Amino acid sequence: MTPISPAPAGYFDRYWIPPENRERSRLAHLPFLRAEAILPEDHADPIAGLRVLEVGPGEGRSSRKLARRGARVCAVDLCAVRLRRSIPPGSAVDLCGGMGERLPLRDSCIDLAIVQSTAMHLNLPAFLREIRRVLRPEGRLIALEPLPYHPLVALYRVALSPGRLSGARYLTRRDIAAMTKRFARARVSYHGLVSAIIPSRATTALDRRLMGALPWLRRLAWFVLIVAEAPRRSPEPFAGDRPA
């Protein structure tokens, strides 16, 4: 693995939110994920002894938790300051500076890859090629990514989000279809209508009933969870291809 290197741009440093200000600065992101039971570590069993890659670990919650459960975790991030803040030395997680589109890992060395709210900042076709390259033949990908269609979340992103200048490109339905085609098996679920604003078990149950009765409402969800297994090795065209 390559040593951690400084980020070429200061975006992640500028928008790294101190813990004491975090809940005042954004939607109740973590309570929502917990209410929906879509934290990546909730879908990562079995995990002990596996080699896990997390790209863009953010606050490092998933990486640290999976390491405590016996996984050998490698966290890759573009920003050295962010990585050291989120996962300090001694946490049983290997820290590695690098880009999602050029992972500093050898072929077929990873059992499980995790990406959370990170693919929207990457060149998606290049990132998926790298994920498929580093995953073992029976490897898995867990992707938890925000979608662009929820009207109230979209308003928040434009008016209040500290990351509104990041130039994020949220996954579209075509991106999701292209991602799942690169794996032999994939399960896709949509989360966050009412529960995006009021995270609770009651609103989560309401959302599931609504999206079950009216499937077209899934296009308004806040998040998509993709759990994919066994990457296909033959190249497939990527309909959402876009320049880096």
What is residue 13's predicted lDDT score, i.e. its pLDDT?
39
Does position 5 have pLDDT exceeding 70, yes or no? Answer: no
Residue 184 falls inside a structural domain: yes
Total domains in the chain come to: 1
Best CA proximity match to 240, nearest among 126, 90, 130: 126
Please determine, for residue 26, whether its predicted confidence score (pLDDT) is greater than 60.
no
Mean pLDDT value of segment 146-161: 84
Q: Which of 126-140, 180-194, 227-241 has the least mean pLDDT?
A: 227-241
Q: How far apart are CA 155 and CA 143, in angstroms?
A: 24
Mean pLDDT to the nearest integer, 212-229: 94
164 to each of 67, 154, 172, how far by Cα in Å? 32, 10, 18
Task: Classify residue 14: in a domain, yes or no.
Answer: no
Does the pLDDT at position 7 exceed 60?
no
Q: Is residue 11 assigned to a domain?
A: no
pLDDT for the residue numbered 242: 46
Structural domain contains residue 18: no
Assess if residue 239 is contained within a domain: no
Reported as a single tens digit per residue, the pLDDT across 38-82 is 989 889 888 899 999 999 988 888 998 999 999 999 999 887 667
- Per the listing, tokens 């803040």 go with 85
Instruction: Concatenate the DSSP letters of all residues of 139-157 into one string.
Output: EEEEEEEE-S--HHHHHHH
Contacts of residue 25, defined as CB under 8 A and 6 or more positions apart, other chains included, come to 17, 162
Least confident stretch, 105-114, 115-124, 153-162:
153-162
Q: pLDDT higher for 8 or 55?
A: 55
Residues 53, 124: Cα–Cα separation, whole Å: 17
- E runs forming strands in 155-235: 183-191, 223-231
Q: What is the pLDDT of residue 140?
A: 95
* Residue 240 counted as domain residue: no
Structural domain range at position 166? 28-231
* CATH number, position 57: 3.40.50.150
Q: What are residue 200's DSSP bridge partners?
A: none
Rounded mean pLDDT, 145-164: 81
Asked whether residue 22 is assigned to any structural domain, the reply reads: no
Helix (H, G, I), strand (E, B) or coil at 60: coil
Q: How far apart are CA 27 and CA 25, in angstroms?
A: 7
Residue 82 vs residues 39, 120, 144, 196: alpha-carbon distances, Å: 21, 18, 20, 26
Please indicate, yes or no, whether the overall pTM of this predicted structure exceeds 0.85: no
Asked, for residue 244, whether it belongs to a domain, the answer is no
